[in-house]
Structure 1
């Protein structure tokens, strides 16, 4: 679904990614792990087209989208949930969801599906998003992305700074999404155990370079933890 080859990208004169290559399987999950500052968020932003690469290619569903702007990639089926549980804080939970749903043909049905995935949002439907807990805002951010019926979901640290009970709910939902088909996921995640349970393939990023990769399974956890402990 997504193939990144030899990607070089950064900001102004600073190069953050140095020849990164990875693939996200169709109807599968690829996970990117690494320490803070390794270039994980930059990788997602480059995949979506928010950063123009200096070298390398990005192919989405077999087509070269390297030079396409972000909004055209979104139209082709990408959705991005950045760090920070982003929402419109002055709008209610339901208004945030309807704002996205109203712009899509299957908006009402997709909104109902998103609420089924995150039933806790129904309980805070009339509450302003700015008054929600961090976990509730993260669920709202993911639900909004899913309403667009994406073919590829880019998730940046979806469990960061979230209370443990909600982390479990978000993890369950991501695993459910990954298992039902019709959606590919590129997941940046710090929780190694969850990341590898969710992943068909994993990549460890260090200083903007892929230093380890393989199939996501229980046997990989020891390898990844050793790599990240260096």
Structure 2
């Protein structure tokens, strides 16, 4: 579904990604791992259109979307959850969902579906988002992204700052979404979580993909070895 081809992109004159090529097949979860500064977030921002490559192409279902702006990619089925459990802190949980739903056909039905998928959001619908726990805000951020009805969901560090019990819950949600046909690009440092959730993985270092293969717990040693190089 998503194809990044020989991507060179960066900030000012310095490249952060140096010839990155990555394929994300439809209906699968592909995890991109690596330490801070490896280029993972830059890759996610390039895929969603927040950064434009100096060279290389971004394809969505075979369509070249390299020059399309983020809102145009959203209309084509990409949704992005940046790191940091972002929300409107002074709005309630329900209002945070409604802000997105107001711009989407069938938004009310999507909000109802999000309450079913994430019961904690219904429980705290009237609470300001700024008063939610990190795990609750992360579920809210994912729910907001899903209201647009994406075909491809890009998640940047969804377990950052989340307690272990909630990490397992978020993992279940992501796996469930993929089982329902959603394609997921998962940017993550938590190796155990990423490999358990994903069908394929790629390891990044210094703006390049240094290792890739099939996901699952069996790949743990290979990934940890790649991340020490």
Band of TM-score, shorter chain: over 0.9
Q: Which whole-Å CA distance do the structure 2 matches of 1:159 and 1:118 have between them?
A: 16
Q: Which whole-Å CA distance do the structure 2 matches of 1:220 and 1:68 have between them?
A: 35
The answer to whether the 8 A contact 1:154-1:185 is kept is yes
Q: Which whole-Å CA distance do the structure 2 matches of 1:162 and 1:218 have between them?
A: 21
Moved more, 46-55 or 210-219: 210-219
The residue number in structure 2 matching 1:113 is: 113
- Give the C-alpha shift of residue 29 in structure 1: 1.0
Deviations 1:88-123 (A, max 9, x none): 111100000011112111212211121112111111
SS of the aligned residue for 1:155 comes to: strand
The answer to whether the 8 A contact 1:3-1:21 is kept is yes
Deviations 1:15-67 (A, max 9, x none): 10000000111111111000000000000001111011001000001100011
Kindly tell me the number of residue pairs found equivalent between the two proteins: 229
- Give the C-alpha shift of residue 219 in structure 1: 2.3
Unmatched tracts of structure 2, length 5 or more: none
Moved more, 64-73 or 102-111: 102-111
SS of the aligned residue for 1:170 comes to: helix
SS of the aligned residue for 2:17 comes to: strand
The residue number in structure 1 matching 2:72 is: 72
Q: Kindly report structure 1 stretches of 4+ aligned residues shifted beyond 3 Å.
A: none
The residue number in structure 1 matching 2:100 is: 100
Q: Which whole-Å CA distance do the structure 1 matches of 2:107 and 2:36 have between them?
A: 36
Q: Which whole-Å CA distance do the structure 2 matches of 1:165 and 1:188 have between them?
A: 20
The answer to whether the 8 A contact 1:7-1:18 is kept is yes
The residue number in structure 2 matching 1:173 is: 173
Deviations 1:120-159 (A, max 9, x none): 1111111111111111111100000011110110000001
- Give the C-alpha shift of residue 175 in structure 1: 1.0
The residue number in structure 2 matching 1:132 is: 132
The residue number in structure 1 matching 2:209 is: 210
SS of the aligned residue for 1:104 comes to: coil
The residue number in structure 1 matching 2:52 is: 52
Mapping 1:1-230, distance limit 5 Å = 1-181=1-181, 183-230=182-229
Q: Which whole-Å CA distance do the structure 2 matches of 1:193 and 1:121 have between them?
A: 26
Q: Which whole-Å CA distance do the structure 2 matches of 1:21 and 1:115 have between them?
A: 37
